[in-house]
């Protein structure tokens, strides 16, 4: 699976949009981009995933560049409860199904 | 979303004893489950893939005789840390693939904090 690069930490103000970047310049054509987050001392929570097109759900939006070498997770109106470590993972949809976590971005939402 | 229940949430044991951690998929069947461990301020490290009805597949460097995995049913996988030592103290997390929806998402348990004295 392709490697991802994320900023170590970021912060944003409560109520504002949080834009979390991820670089995956070696991504292959059959690899998906997944985002999970982990709130302190809990298991990771699925946020969103995509292949080529931008995706949106009730939690977030995923913007993938046309060349697929980078993506941005957008939390439109961050709340204090969004403070967590956010993991960007690229993964082939093969029979292994496993997820390999990188170091992630620690997002702090300020009051 | 699908729920994965992990038990216990935390456990303290003496060095040399064995500890069993359970991972259950509550509202879906999971032919494949995964076990991770996480040290403080570090990312999750995949330990093994647990397959229902067959032997687990361990990642490189993980001792299969120390971390016994059993996946006897479509809703339950167990991880047993045998002859635990203080260096085994860690946060253990399981995840499960929802076979019914094609397995695009993995759902995670809430984790088990193991402290070995």
- For residue A91, pLDDT beyond 90: no
Nearest by CB: B108 against A41, A43, A103: A43
Nearest by CB: A97 against B1, B6, B97: B97
pLDDT, tens digit, 9 for 90 and up, residues B5-25: 999 999 999 999 999 999 999
Kindly report the nearest CA distance between residue B44 and chain A, in angstroms.
6
**pLDDT classification of B60: cutoffs 50, 70, 90:** very high
Kindly report the nearest CA distance between residue B13 and chain A, in angstroms.
19
Q: Do B95 and A101 touch (CB under 8 A)?
A: no
Range with lowest mean pLDDT among A37-51, A84-98, B33-47: A84-98
pLDDT, tens digit, 9 for 90 and up, residues A31-88: 899 999 999 889 999 999 999 999 999 999 999 999 999 999 999 999 999 999 999 9
Inter-chain CB pairs, A–B, below 8 Å: 50
d(CA B5, CA B8): 9
Q: Secondary structure of chain A: what % helix, strand, coil (to 5)?
A: 5, 50, 50
Tokens of B34: 């995964």
Range with lowest mean pLDDT among A27-41, A77-91, B27-41, B95-109: B95-109
Is residue B100 within 8 A of residue B86, CB to CB? The reply is: no
Give the pLDDT score at B102: 58
Tokens of A55: 């995706």
Q: Chain B contacts of A42, Cβ < 8 Å?
A: 110-111
Interface test with B, best of A32, A99, A104 (most B CBs within 10 A): A99
Is residue A47 within 8 A of residue A60, CB to CB? The reply is: yes
Interface test with A, best of B95, B96, B110, B112 (most A CBs within 10 A): B95
Q: Do B105 and A104 touch (CB under 8 A)?
A: no
Q: Chain A contacts of B56, Cβ < 8 Å?
A: none
Q: Chain A contacts of B44, Cβ < 8 Å?
A: 38, 44, 101
d(CA A106, CA B1): 24
User: Among A41, A49, A42, A40, which Cα is nearest to A80's?
Assistant: A40
Residue whose token pair is 């167990």 = B78
């Amino acid at each position: 699976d392709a490697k991802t690069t994320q900023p170590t930490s970021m912060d944003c103000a409560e109520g504002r949009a949080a834009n979390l970047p991820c670089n995956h310049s070696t991504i292959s054509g059959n690899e998906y981009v997944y985002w999970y987050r982990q709130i302190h001392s809990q298991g990771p929570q699925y946020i969103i995933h995509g292949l080529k097109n931008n995706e949106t759900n009730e939690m977030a939006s995923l913007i993938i560049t046309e060349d697929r070498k980078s993506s941005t997770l957008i939390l439109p109106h961050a709340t204090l409860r969004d403070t967590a470590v956010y993991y960007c993972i690229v993964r082939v949809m093969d029979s292994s199904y496993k997820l390999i976590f990188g170091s992630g971005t620690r997002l702090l939402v300020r009051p | 979303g699908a729920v994965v229940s992990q038990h216990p949430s935390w456990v303290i044991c003496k060095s040399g004893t064995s500890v069993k951690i359970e991972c259950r998929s509550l509202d879906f069947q999971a032919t494949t489950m995964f076990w991770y461990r996480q040290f403080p301020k570090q990312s999750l490290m995949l330990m093994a893939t647990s397959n229902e009805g067959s032997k687990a597949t361990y990642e490189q460097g993980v001792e299969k005789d120390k971390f016994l995995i059993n996946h006897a049913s479509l809703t339950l996988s167990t991880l047993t840390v045998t002859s635990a030592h203080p260096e085994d103290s860690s946060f253990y997390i399981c995840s499960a693939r929802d076979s019914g929806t094609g397995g695009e998402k993995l759902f995670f348990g809430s984790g088990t904090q193991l402290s070995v004295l």
